[in-house]
Amino acid sequence: MSLPSSIAQALQAAARQGLERLDAQGLLLHTLGRSPHDRAWLLSHDTDALDADTLARFDQLCARRLDNEPMGYLTGWQEFFGLTLQVDDRVLVPRPDTETLVEWALQAVLGLQAPRMLDLGTGSGAVALALAHARPDAAVHAVDASADALAVAQGNARRLSLPVVFSQGSWLTGHSGTGATYALIASNPPYIPQHDPHLAALVHEPLQALAAGADGLDDIRVIIAQAPAHLDPGGWLLLEHGYDQAAAVRALLQAQGFTQVQSRRDMAGIERCSGGQWPTVK
Write the CA distances from 15 to 4, 61, 138, 205, integer angstroms: 18, 13, 46, 25
50: in domain: yes
Would you say the pTM of this structure is higher than 0.85?
Answer: yes
> Would you state the pLDDT for residue 180?
82
113 with 228, same domain? yes
The per-residue pLDDT for range 99-117, each reduced to its tens digit, is: 999 999 999 999 999 999 9
Residues 37 and 91 reside in one and the same domain: no
The reply to whether 100 falls in a domain is yes
**Intervals of the chain under pLDDT 70:** 1-4, 174-178, 197, 199-203, 211, 282
Do 266 and 214 fall within a single domain? Answer: yes
Q: Looking at 35, 67, 99, which one is the last position of a domain?
A: 67
Same domain, 56 and 102: no
What is the rounded distance in angstroms from the CA atom of residue 8 to the CA atom of residue 18? 16
Task: Find the radius of gyration of the CA atoms of the chain.
Answer: 21
| Cα 208 from Cα 188, distance rounded (Å) | 13
The model's pLDDT over 159-190, given as tens digits with 9 standing for 90+, comes to 999 999 999 999 998 665 567 899 999 999 98
CA distance 220 to 200: 22
Q: Which of 67, 94, 112 is the last residue of a domain?
A: 67
Domain interval for residue 117:
77-277
Helix 7-16 vs helix 52-66: crossing angle, to nearest 10: 30
How many domains is the chain partitioned into structurally?
2
Helix (H, G, I), strand (E, B) or coil at 175: helix
Are 24 and 81 members of one domain? no
- At residue 191, the pLDDT reads 80
pLDDT at 173: 85
Same domain? 148 vs 223: yes
From 171, 96, 104, 148, select the one nearest 126 (Cα to Cα): 96
Per-residue model confidence (pLDDT) at position 3 = 47
The pLDDT value given to residue 24: 94
Determine, yes or no, domain membership for 282.
no
Task: Give me the pLDDT at residue 194, please.
Answer: 78
Same domain, 55 and 87: no
